[in-house]
Amino acid sequence: MISQFKKLFFLLIIISFIFPLAGQAQNQIALEIYPLKTFVSIEPGQSQQSELFIKNLSTITLKIKPRVVEFTTIDDQGTLQINEGDFSEYINLPVSVFELKPGQKRQINFDAFAPAAESGGKYFAILFATEPLAKDEGAQFSGEVGSLVFMEILGEIKHEIKIKEFNTEKVHWSSPEFDVTVANTGNTHSAPFGEIKILNWRGKEKEIIPIFFPQILPDKERSQQFFSASGLFGKYTANLNLVDGDWNYISEEVSFWVLPPIIIFLIVIFLAIVGFIIFLLKRKKHV
């Protein structure tokens, strides 16, 4: 089933290169495409049709050329890498080159296929190259916008995530921050979620920090930082609790101190005053 997408509007404006010729107007190439992501789950040997929409927000007619590429991520921040090739075995895009007039919107249908002998996640991007229809319209630059397709071929699906890192400084002088790295050790994409629960030394809950990760591809990692609110003082334990796509729970914990300088200063001043009062009392007693 295709997940019901929210109509996220993606406006990518590519500033055109302007050639210094007399009388040429400055134009921009601007396209709107949605959904940005499509999620498809298909039984092996079956197919499923999906759609996306593209609109020309420019003031000039554009020539649009679609193509399908494979994508992956290359670091723990989710940076995309595009791989060229023939992926018609998985994605059939029936349209080739077409035109979009200013303000015109077009629905693009495509078919996703699941080979019978495969299972797990496959990841593609449908890209649309753009350029002005007429070369004398002032905008000469060709760019691309795209929509991601997350395909899950059902069968031997394995949802599994592991907490590779859950760390924070042992002592914080202000609000603590937590470094979390999650590895996807399954064979399909997963978007882990959960919470960081902060407990004081008596086990009393002081704060809950919601945790939401974007989609993590198989055999990839994602790292994020999460921040606590201010107002903590003393020793605390932070429990990280995450859930994967099969509702399996995993957890880790770390302990830390929060010692704001202003509170330390006030404590030192208080102790100094108390010490001075005790000194005066003892001195008066011996007089």
Task: Spell out the domains of the chain, with CATH numbers in brackets.
Answer: 10-153 (2.60.40.10), 161-263 (2.60.40.10)
pLDDT of residue 175: 83
Rg (CA), the chain: 28
pLDDT of residue 266: 62
Q: Which of 93-102, 135-144, 166-175, 253-262 has the lowest mean pLDDT?
A: 135-144
pLDDT of residue 270: 67
Higher pLDDT among residues 222 and 272, named by residue: 222
- Give residue-wise pLDDT tens across range 198-257: 999 889 999 999 999 999 999 999 999 999 876 778 899 999 999 987 788 999 999 999
pLDDT at 1 over 70: no
pLDDT of residue 23: 32
- Short-list 81, 83, 31, CA closest to 52: 31
Tell me if residue 32 falls in helix, strand or coil: strand
* Number of neighbours of residue 15 by Cβ within 10 angstroms: 13
- Reading the block at residue 164, the tokens are 């590779």
pLDDT of residue 12: 34
For every residue of 102-154, DSSP letters joined together read: TT-EEEEEEEEE--TT--EEEEEEEEEEEEESSTTSS----EEEEEEEEEEE-
pLDDT of residue 247: 83
pLDDT at 9 over 80: no
Higher pLDDT among residues 269 and 54, named by residue: 54
pTM of the model: 0.78
Alpha-helical segments (H) within the chain: 261-286
pLDDT of residue 174: 78
Sequence-separated (6 or more) residues with CB below 8 Å from residue 60: 27, 29, 102, 132, 133, 134, 137, 138, 139
